[in-house]
Amino acid sequence: MSALAAASIASPRVLPSWMRNALLATAAMNLAAGVAFLPPAQPLRTLAGMPDGEPVYLTTVALFVMLFGAGYAWVGLTRRDERLFLTLSAIGKVSFVTIVTFHWLAGRLPFQAVVTASGDLVFGAMFAWWLLTSRQQ
């Protein structure tokens, strides 16, 4: 058995309750955001300060937002310390806020978009904090 296979079989640490709750909350947030990015949900995007777009791009964004939401739900429900997923999640959430803030500063998005995205900054920081403070010995 390869070292990679053995590492994936090894039981990862169990996440604490606060991290489980954060993952389940962001799963719900991603589900709602994914629905808002579906083409017929233009009024929800307007409320969130997000622009409209071509249906194929909106549907693709909705797909990936909801897929990550499913991942958050899975990791939250299993309470497994899936470090690669949590790393990608922290990077993705902080990157999304950075992109939205950049476009707001460039005058392409209303401030409401930054407010809407700020939840991702909170979750991204929580995920990063967990990753940095719970390194395996």
List the domain boundaries for the chain.
15-133
- Each residue's pLDDT expressed in tens, for the chain with a length of 137 residues: 554 444 445 556 899 999 999 999 999 999 999 999 999 999 999 999 999 999 999 999 999 999 999 999 999 999 999 999 999 999 999 999 999 999 999 999 999 999 999 999 999 999 999 999 998 64
What pLDDT is recorded for position 13? 87
Maximum C-alpha span of the chain: 54
Claim: this prediction has a pTM higher than 0.75: yes
| Tokens at 96, concatenated | 């999304």
d(CA 117, CA 26): 12
d(CA 67, CA 33): 11
d(CA 3, CA 1): 7
What pLDDT is recorded for position 136? 63
3-class secondary-structure state, position 53: coil
Q: Which helix (H) or strand (E) holds 37?
A: helix 17-37
What pLDDT is recorded for position 135? 80
What pLDDT is recorded for position 5? 46
Place of tokens 């392409």: 108
